Amino acid sequence: MAEFTIEEYYGKINGMNYWYVLLLEQEQLQTTNEEDVEHYCIMLPMLTTNLMPKASGEAIYCIIESTWMDAEADNHGRPYFKIPETF
C-alpha cells in the first residue's frame, strides 16, 4: 500500500477518467490487519496503443475506490467519486 495525492485531471478515454497522480515518497505502508484499512482503491495506469504505460514515466491513472466508484472531475477539475455507468 502507498499514499498518494490526485494532482490534476488528465481526461476521459474510453469512458474512464484519468488523473495525474503523485505517489508520496515514503516507505510503503504495510499492514496484516484489514481493520487498519479504512479506504483503498485500484489504480489502473493509462496505456499507450502498445498496451504499455507512457515512456515519459508520467503517473497517469484511472482511480476506482473500494466501493467501485470512479473518480470523476467536478466543474473545477477536482475529483469526486461516482458509481460507474453500466454499458
Mean per-residue pLDDT pooled into runs of 10, the chain (87 residues): 82 87 72 71 79 72 83 85 65
In a domain, 18, yes or no: yes
List the grid coordinates of 75: 466543474
Q: Rounded to the nearest 5 degrees, what angle is found at the Cα of 47, between the Cα atoms of 71 and 84?
A: 25
In a domain, 9, yes or no: yes
In a domain, 41, yes or no: yes
pTM for the complete prediction? 0.70
Residue 1 identity (one-letter amino acid): M
Domain total in the chain: 1
Mean pLDDT, rounded, of the chain = 78
Domain housing 44: 4-82
In a domain, 87, yes or no: no
